[in-house]
Structure 1
């Protein structure tokens, strides 16, 4: 297929499936927290608008959650089919971590999700709020274990090599590996931002169409507050994450910066350019002298390891990560600008009727997910040529499959994913396009005779159907 070998096809297939998958958990994390916040405010303030919004977004959450679960299962199988040598050599670490996610997070979410979505008239409002909070906590726990596993692959510690296999010797070091705090904070904040942008764009779309209900206005207001608060925090966390990458994965950072040599005694900040892996230089660069030194080393003439300091076979593809990183940073800056513009519009009393601002918010809707994908590409492509950094090379982790088999499976995945998940996304957009409806007040506490004595007694009688 297009002259690609089996390793490249296996990488493209996993990259394709994980790119589809990652957008769903990101929205799940953000919407679960948003729903818990909405229901908590409803219980506290007795304002029916919060209940209305909670019902509205719970439908979208349910569809998104289902697609996230299904798309995630595919990747678990790929570890065994396409990356069997990775599973054989490093599965002693990553296998238990993924098992912990199932045992702690997935069971927690599955146990309370039904109550959260369908238990409004079956349990009291206190228990229902507790269930919603548990679902939100479950999404956080799930993100924790996934990011622990990925972070360990980026900064592996707490292991030893025995007969070519990675053997865990210190689980505390593995779980609390050097990059996990930064990756966890960066990913969760990204999920909150992506969700806030989605919510804000939905509200802006309705307001531009003349749907000016209190629920729509509240939706926009909450989303803009979240963006204004979260965007600058994300920028700071991202900066700290970059410094951690400099310490533990200097080749990745050099590739991100398009930095080939320290000949000039300082590191410029290259704003734009075209890294050329063959010529070992960044062409057509527009750079700010010394700015890279100031940002990365906090000194005027500080230097960082350059790409030429590493063997050619150990260098990530700078041509790709140089641009994916800048897409992420550029969109992050636009998010901060949106938050500031929203604050100004709010101050002027025109948050809900300033057409230029609402159009800006609408256009920014998908940028959170695009930034997540760009950041994910930067992280994973920047780790190459290692699947476990400095321990196991990607070429030594792939299964012995032929090019025709991988080509057929890749094309099958592309068709199925576009059809199945494309349909799901379209359905989510249709749900978001509906105006939030007024819902019954579920605020009463159930009497003893209203509570089901057994789980099956909550079902309607046959005669009532």
Structure 2
């Protein structure tokens, strides 16, 4: 196999696996802040129990996330040495900012969050929970800034030529606030809030269906559904803004996302379909002129398509870009309807009488993960053949000394190790959920047990 293809597969595999965990930790951190805030406000011990329980799950997610993220930094040097040299100044600045402003903040207060119960005041512990959550959000900022610069590079100049060429920052804030960074940061944050809140919704729905910790789970469900509903609806508008930026700065990516081939013609909006790259056409269900209307509020406004660009400058897998983009959209729309409908039923007081809906929420934890992965695949495969859009091609970014068999061997090893890590994660997560929020000797606050009198869990 080709060394470029193998290197791309290896990096996409490792980063996709790693990206399961940061969104969960960011989103779960926000829900934990709300839980502990409710405890400070009401002094109801059930909210303290919520925070303690989900802190254990947070620590598991955080630990696996850190372990799986280290590998990618080494891959930059082993597989993508030319790329590392080219973007070293940009990534170095962004990653240094992450370490100073984000990781130090997050890790500094993590110990208080995990081990500070009964050792610091309730307000100090709440402050540490807020700081850990903010630290994880700040960390996402600088990673997204570095990636956004690859999509819409600004604030730099290129020095050197050929393999010695590199991008040198001339304006740090122009680099950090490049045209796509702010919208993409918000989009990533909202995706993380959805991931974390749906994890809590899934666990809560499971407990309610099993008639365990009923009062506890109904309260956590309400809190998480509030976050999920707000985030899902907000993500719809954030996605629209992001698409507008892609249309302005990365027209080839937008054309691939919607399978739009004519060089300059009104663009249809496909609900689903299939891109035939050989015939340069799309078959599927569409709204004629829909994309033109979304971009320009005019169904007949022409939009630049893939045929307006040389073949070597187009994404190499337009159907993959098209399918991942539409998968993200379909899941996103489904989650909007699911959360709004559920919130309406909750307001009517009949939600918990519908076990079929609770069963959907048990499995819904997978939906944000699929949407997040599909969104990143759209962004990164749609940027091809460029690793830095318009400046450095992916084929030129490879390490010159790495051979295909070396990449293949390391890919196999990573697959085995990451599979073991994932199995371990699922096992430990399942064990914590089965154990539940109450230890032996704790009192269950559910109405079921209240009706039986004060009862110790068995």
Deviation at 1:212, TM superposition (A): 4.8
Q: 2: distance between equivalents of 1:99 and 1:150? A: 15
Residue 43 of structure 1 corresponds to 40
Deviation track 1:310-360 (CA, whole Å, cap 9, x = no partner) reads: 111111121101010111111111111111221232133122231121122
**Which one of 27, 51, 54 corresponds to residue 51 of structure 2?**
54
Residues 81-230 of structure 1 mapped to structure 2, 5 A cutoff = 81-163=78-160, 164-230=165-231
Contact 2:275 / 2:281 at 8 angstroms: preserved in 1?
A: yes
Residue 285 of structure 2 corresponds to 286
Q: 2: distance between equivalents of 1:154 and 1:248? A: 8
Q: Which runs of 5+ in 2 are unaligned?
A: 444-458
* Greater mean deviation of Cα atoms: 219-228 or 191-200: 219-228
Q: 1: distance between equivalents of 2:184 and 2:198? A: 21
Q: 1: distance between equivalents of 2:301 and 2:46? A: 54
Residue 409 of structure 1 corresponds to 410
Deviation track 1:222-269 (CA, whole Å, cap 9, x = no partner) reads: 122222222111001100100010001010000000000057x42111
Deviation track 1:366-418 (CA, whole Å, cap 9, x = no partner) reads: 10111100001001111111111111111111112111101100000000000
Residues 215-254 of structure 1 mapped to structure 2, 5 A cutoff = 215-254=216-255
Q: State the secondary structure of the residue aligned to 1:352.
A: helix
Q: Which runs of 5+ in 1 are unaligned?
A: 442-465
Q: 1: distance between equivalents of 2:129 and 2:331? A: 31
| RMSD of equivalent CA atoms | 1.5
Q: How many residues align?
A: 436
Q: 1: distance between equivalents of 2:122 and 2:198? A: 29
Given the two structures, how large is their TM-score scaled by the length of structure 2?
0.92
Contact 1:297 / 1:303 at 8 angstroms: preserved in 2?
A: no
1:69 aligns with 2:72: no
Contact 1:196 / 1:226 at 8 angstroms: preserved in 2?
A: yes
Structure 1's consecutive aligned runs of 4 or more residues displaced over 4 angstroms after TM superposition are 438-441
Q: 2: distance between equivalents of 1:223 and 1:125? A: 22
Residue 456 of structure 1 corresponds to none
Given the two structures, how large is their TM-score scaled by the length of structure 1?
0.91
Contact 2:34 / 2:223 at 8 angstroms: preserved in 1?
A: no
Q: 2: distance between equivalents of 1:426 and 1:301? A: 54
Contact 1:345 / 1:354 at 8 angstroms: preserved in 2?
A: no
Q: Which has the higher contact order (CA 8 A, sep 6+)?
A: 1
* Greater mean deviation of Cα atoms: 268-277 or 112-121: 268-277
